[in-house]
């Protein structure tokens, strides 16, 4: 009787790491020169300096800090199921139910006295079910009438049919927040006082938003430059290798769950079919390659190169970001070419951001 929910996942890490290849015995500087020369030859650069862009700038507000405080308090809250009171929308309640259609109980429509928690208004159950619980008191027994959606995939035999559920409201889940005091803060955080704790939240959020804003602004600028440029041709073999290596990695993940690729990408990533997934990977690789080509073209034009120390720093950053502590594991995921390109990309996009022009507030709005 639950709504069917499409389970989606983030492919960023799995796919991002698959977009990486490189081998050879040249020094990092020679590799870099070869990379720049190779990929820059595939495009004719358009305008790339003074690019106007709608600047992303996020200010940390008091409300945002309060949300973090509320989340902290929620972590240390206590809950109990109370056996009195009236249920209202937003409450989490515990119910039992027996569902029937035309007086005949249907499979999967009986909680069997085990009790079931549901948050009223969450949309977990079929339409109109939760609304009819609100207003009832704990201990009430009542009927809920609801119609299954016409596209009810979990059990097509129920699709479009009206059901009657005999419901018992067992209890209401009540959450009690702890008192927000200096002592609580000192017990569970590195701060000693509420003021110190909230300042740390503000500082951390400001740093995070600054990084995210900068990344978003850089991506907007590089996208504009890609659109201004002409890709004369693509390194077809490189792209085929990237597509195949990405799909192979996901296929291995599917095998670890004892399932096939089509089922895996449907359940975990929300793709309607294996072909849709392959099309997505192909488009992602094309977008990645456009960016790589343009970055290398600008690097060649502006004589931008990554130093050995910068490449080492990038390696440490990647290891820290993804929690990689084992050197061999890192080498499995990233080649030297990967490190060179991502370091070079950072330097090029830094240069582009410095030479770009934020749009006026009116234009940005």
Q: For 78-176, CATH number?
A: 3.10.50.40
Query: What are 202-219's pLDDT values in tens digits?
Result: 999 999 999 999 999 999
Query: What are 106-158's pLDDT values in tens digits?
Result: 998 999 999 999 999 999 899 889 999 999 999 999 999 999 999 888 888 89
Tokens found for residue 31: 């590799």
pLDDT value at residue 26: 58
Quote the CA–CA distance of 255 and 87 in Å, as a whole number. 45
Query: What are 30-78's pLDDT values in tens digits?
Result: 999 999 999 999 999 999 999 999 999 999 999 999 999 999 999 999 9
pTM of the model: 0.69
pLDDT value at residue 153: 83
Whether 12-48+229-364 and 78-176 share one fold: the answer is no
Top-tier CATH class for 12-48+229-364 = mainly alpha
pLDDT value at residue 38: 97
Q: Where are the domains of the chain?
A: 12-48+229-364, 78-176
**pLDDT range class, residue 276, cuts 50, 70, 90:** very high
């Amino acid at each position: 009787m639950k709504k069917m929910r499409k389970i989606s996942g983030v492919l960023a890490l799995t796919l991002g790491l698959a977009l990486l290849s490189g081998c050879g015995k040249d020094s990092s500087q020679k590799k870099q020169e070869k990379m720049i020369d190779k990929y820059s030859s595939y495009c004719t650069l358009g305008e790339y300096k003074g690019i106007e862009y709608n600047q992303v700038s996020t200010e940390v507000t008091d409300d945002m800090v309060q949300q973090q405080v509320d989340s902290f308090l929620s972590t240390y809250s206590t809950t109990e199921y109370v056996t009195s009171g009236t249920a209202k929308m937003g409450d989490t309640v515990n119910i039992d139910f027996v569902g029937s259609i035309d007086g005949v109980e249907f499979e999967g429509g009986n909680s069997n006295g085990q009790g079931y928690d549901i948050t009223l208004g969450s949309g977990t159950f079929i339409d109109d079910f939760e609304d009819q619980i609100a207003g009832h008191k704990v201990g009430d027994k009542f009927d809920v009438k609801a119609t299954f959606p016409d596209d009810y995939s979990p059990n097509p035999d129920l699709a479009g049919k009206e059901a009657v559920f005999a419901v018992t409201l067992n209890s209401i889940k009540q959450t009690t927040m702890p008192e927000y005091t200096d002592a609580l803060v000192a017990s569970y955080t590195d701060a000693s006082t509420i003021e110190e704790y909230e300042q740390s939240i503000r500082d951390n959020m400001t740093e995070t938003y600054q990084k995210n804003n900068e990344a978003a602004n850089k991506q907007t600028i590089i996208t504009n430059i890609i659109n201004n440029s002409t890709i004369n041709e693509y390194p077809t073999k490189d792209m085929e290798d990237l597509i195949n290596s990405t799909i192979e990695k996901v296929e291995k993940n599917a095998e670890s769950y004892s399932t096939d690729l089509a089922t895996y990408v449907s359940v975990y990533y929300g793709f309607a079919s294996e072909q849709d997934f392959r099309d997505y990977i192909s488009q992602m690789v094309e977008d990645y390659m456009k960016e790589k080509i343009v970055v290398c073209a600008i690097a060649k034009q502006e004589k931008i190169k990554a130093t050995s120390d910068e490449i080492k720093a990038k390696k440490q950053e990647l290891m820290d970001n993804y929690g990689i502590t084992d050197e061999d594991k890192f080498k499995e995921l990233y080649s030297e070419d990967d490190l060179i390109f991502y370091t070079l990309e950072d330097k090029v996009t830094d240069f582009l951001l410095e030479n770009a022009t934020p749009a006026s507030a009116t234009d940005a709005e």
